[in-house]
Amino acid sequence: MTLGKFEPNQIEKINRKLPKLNTTQQPLVSEEEMRQAVRTLLLGLGEDPDREGLKDTPKRVVKALKFLTSGYNQSLDELLNGAVFHENTNEMVLVRDIDLFSSCEHHILPILGHAHVAYIPDGKVIGLSKIARICEMYGRRLQVQERLTAQIADALQGLLKPKGVAVVVEASHMCMVMRGVQKPGSWTATSAVRGVFANDPKTRQEFMSLIHHNPSMH
């Protein structure tokens, strides 16, 4: 049985606990002003923004950036679409290797990686695809990896009140690969554990061994 939509104040409560997310209000600058800013960047790079290949680039860049930050305009309620169900199970649910794309807030360059998300239900389970959608929503914002990881964990913890949640994000930052320190092979792993995953080393260990187990080798 679906639990249906969440009460608005329940979602509100979860959102309030998370860092300020809401940018659903009208943007403070117009689309045209944003395009002009990209044009200025191109000029600053010594390019000719009027040459054929770049003519529509400001429009494309603004569109692309809006897409890559479209997670600001999503809400957990809308994304869940009521897909939370009563289920009497208390076994670990793990969704691993969820492709994750985000943008680093320092350089607005891509963060590319994977998320592994587990929880131990306490009477309620969530539609599996919604776990990936939650990762997407927080990924499509300007982020640091630590905050992205914590937001995914806190969203699940707030929505399901499970016995525990564990999230590991493994990602490569293009700002460390293509520029700056230029370390193409580097990966950053971050974790956020809540409830039983924080309190019980055995449960945490089980999660860690499951995410490093390669099913194709079985």
Ligand X SMILES: Nc1nc2c(ncn2[C@@H]2O[C@H](COP(=O)(O)OP(=O)(O)OP(=O)(O)O)[C@@H](O)[C@H]2O)c(=O)[nH]1
Active site residues: 104-107, 145, 173, 175
Stretch that binds ligand X, among 47-55, 160-168, 174-182, 197-205 (CB under 6 A): 174-182
Structure tokens given for 126: 């969530």
Q: Is 175 annotated as a binding residue?
A: yes
112 Cβ contact list (under 8 Å, min separation 6) = 100, 101, 171, 172, 174
- CA torsion through residues 45, 47, 50, 56, sign: negative
Does residue 171 touch Zn ion according to CB under 5 A?
A: no
Query: CA–CA separation, 218 vs 207, rounded Å?
Result: 17
Query: CA–CA separation, 136 vs 152, rounded Å?
Result: 9
Q: Is 135 annotated as a binding residue?
A: no
Positions 111 through 150 that interact with ligand X (CB under 6 A): 144-146
Does residue 175 touch Zn ion according to CB under 5 A?
A: yes
Tell which phi-psi region holds residue 8, choosing left (phi > 0), alpha (psi between -120 and 50) or beta: alpha
Task: Name the residue whose CB lies closest to Zn ion.
Answer: 175
Query: CA–CA separation, 148 vs 145, rounded Å?
Result: 5
Considering only 8, 180, 183, 205, the residue that binds ligand X (CB under 6 A) is: 180
Positions 77 through 116 that interact with Zn ion (CB under 5 A): 104, 106-107
Does residue 41 touch ligand X according to CB under 6 A?
A: no
Q: Which does 56 bind (CB under 5 to 8 A by kind): Zn ion, ligand X, none?
A: none
Residues within the interface to ligand X (CB under 6 A)? 104, 106, 144-146, 173, 175-176, 180-181
